[in-house]
Amino acid sequence: LSARNKKSFAYITVKDRLPSIVTRIVDFLARNRGNYAKEYGDEAENECKSCIAAMDKLRYEIGRDKPILLLTDNHTDDVHLWNECLQKELDRGKPLELKSSKHLQHIDPFIEMKQYNFILSSKAIDVILAQLNTDIDPTINLLNHKATIEQQFYNYMEISLWGNACDLSLSGGADCSQEHDPFHQISELKSHILINNQSSVFNYLYDQQAYLLNFDVYIDFILDNAGFELITDLCFADFLISKRLCSRITLYLKCLPWFVSDATKTDFQWLLDELNKSSSNPVWQIAGKRWEEYIRNGQWIIQTHRFFTLPYDYSSMQRISPELYSAMSESKLLVFKGDLNYRKLVGDLQWPLNETFETALRGFQPTSFVVLRTCKADVQVEIDEKIAKQVAKLDPNWMVNGKWAVIQTFFKTTN
C-alpha cells in the first residue's frame, strides 16, 4: 500500500489522519509545557518548545508533500534501521523529537486520549467484568461442560475482536469509546465477521489438553490498543487461563508510545491501578486482583520487544530478531490483535483478495496463530471474491471503516 495511490487508505492516512494526530500532539505539549518546566526546569520547557516547532514543521511538510529527510538523532539505537526503510517513516509512532530530548523522552503524547476513552467506556467494562467473574466459575470445566465453555470462548474471542474497533489512530484521536453492552453487540455483529475460524482455534486448543494438567500449553498475545480494547484482550486471556485452555500467556506490549492508542507497559499498569482503586463497582477490583495474581505466579508474563516498533513486517522477524522468532516458536498459539498486525503479517502488499494466507505470510511460520482484526486498511487475503462484492454493495468502505472483521488462522503442520 502506498500514499502515491490517491484511491488507497494510505493516501487518506497521510493526507488527513497524520496531520490530525500531529496537531493533537502539539496541543498536548502546549498544554503541559508549564508542568514539565516545574518538574524538570527551564531546559525541559525549551525542549518542549523545540518539539512543538518540529511538530509544526512536520505538519507543514506532510500537508505540502515535502520529501522526507534522513533522521539525524544520535540518542536512539534504531535510527539507522529507520533510515534504511525511510519510505515508512511517516507511519512511525512517537515523534523522534521526543525520543531525542533529555527530559521528554519518556513522555507519552497520547496518554490523555487513551485514558479518557477508557473512562468513557466504564459502563461497558462493568458489564464484561461482571460476566467474566461469573463465567470463570471453576466448577464449570472442560471435563464436564465442554459445550458451555466453547460458547463462552467464542463470546470472549469476539468481544476481543470488536474491541479493536476502539482505535484512536483510525479516528485521529477523536472519541471512539465503547458505550454498548459488549455481549449484546457481538450477537448483532456476527454477520460482519467475513472470515470466522474461531471453532478451529477452540478445537486446536482443546486438543492440546492443557485442562488435564499434564501438559504446558503456552500462548502469546501480540496486543494492539490500550483502553477498552486492552480490557477485552485481558478478559479473553483470563478466560483461557481460568478454563485451562492454556497454562501460560505472554502479553506483548509496545516498548514506546506508538501510533496513538497502542498499549505500553505504562498503559497496562495504569489499567490495573484503575481497576484496583475503583470503589464504585467491586467487579473491577475482583478482576484486577486476579490479574495481578496471574502476573505474580507466572501465568501471565508481561513482555516488550523493539521489533514491534521497527519498520519491518513479520516476514523479516527471523532475520532481524531471531531470538523473538525463537521464543514465539515455543508457543502453541499466537494471538495477533488488530489491523496493523494483520498488515505486517501480509507485508502491507496489495494481494488479490483470493490469495492464500500462507502465501501472503512469505515464510513467517514460527507456530500456529490467529488474527483478530477489524478491517481498517485496503488489504485482505483468502476471502471469496463473491462475498467481497456482496459486502461492497452493502458498504463501499468495508475494507477501511472498522465495521467488518476477520478471525483468520494459520496452523503450522509440524508444531
Query: For 31-40, which contacts have Cβ atoms below 8 Å and span 24 or more sequence positions?
Result: 36/103, 36/104, 36/107, 40/103
E strands, 49-118, are: none
Choices 3.40.47.10, 1.20.1250.20, 3.40.50.300, 3.40.50.10880: CATH for 110-410:
3.40.50.10880
Length of the chain: 415
CA geometry: angle at 22 spanning 19 and 25, to 5°? 155
CA dist 88 and 81 (Å) reads 11
Mean pLDDT of the chain: 89
Cβ atoms of 371 and 408 within 8 Å: the answer is: yes
C-alpha distances (whole Å) from 26 to each of 137, 169, 353 are 48, 16, 39
Q: Give the pLDDT of residue 215.
A: 82
Q: Give the pLDDT of residue 147.
A: 97
User: In the chain, which residues have pLDDT < 50?
Assistant: 89-95, 171-174
Identity of the residue numbered 159: I
CA dist 233 and 177 (Å) reads 15
CB neighbours of 160 closer than 8 A, spacing ≥ 6? 229, 232, 233, 235, 236, 337, 372
Identity of the residue numbered 2: S
CB neighbours of 231 closer than 8 A, spacing ≥ 6? 118, 121, 125, 128, 129, 163, 271
